Amino acid sequence: MNRSTARSIVATYLREGRVNERPRGGRNNVRVDNEMRDCINEILNENLPSSLQQINEELRRRLPAKPLVCNRTIGKTMDGMLISVKMARAVPAACNRPNVIE
């Protein structure tokens, strides 16, 4: 241990009363916490074919005290929860009619 490190440890001890350093690294910009993830999971279990906009609106309705997040953040959170997002499209009913197939 060099002198500057020893001084730093002594100064930290005198100033804050601790010897160990604070943990470093990790994510600092976490917007979606575990409570919000649980709520997203509940929303998906109740109504699976929802858009990101609908999920976000329901999340805002259920947890009004939490910070507002954009739809893309909801999508990234769902990706982190290993839930894939697919775009649902209406299938035209006319494509399988017998006269169209002929």
Q: Residue 100 pLDDT more than 90?
A: no
- The dihedral through the CA atoms of 45, 49, 51, 53 has a sign that is negative
Segment 24-63, tens digit of pLDDT:
776 666 788 899 999 999 999 987 667 889 999 999 999 9
- pLDDT on residue 82: 87
Query: With 80 as the cut, is the pLDDT of residue 68 above it?
Result: yes
Q: What is the pLDDT of residue 29?
A: 65
**Domain extent listing, the chain:** 30-85
| Residue 85 contacts residue 44 (beta carbons within 8 Å) | no
Q: Where residue 15 falls among pLDDT bands split at 50, 70, 90?
A: confident
Quote the CA–CA distance of 4 and 52 in Å, as a whole number: 52
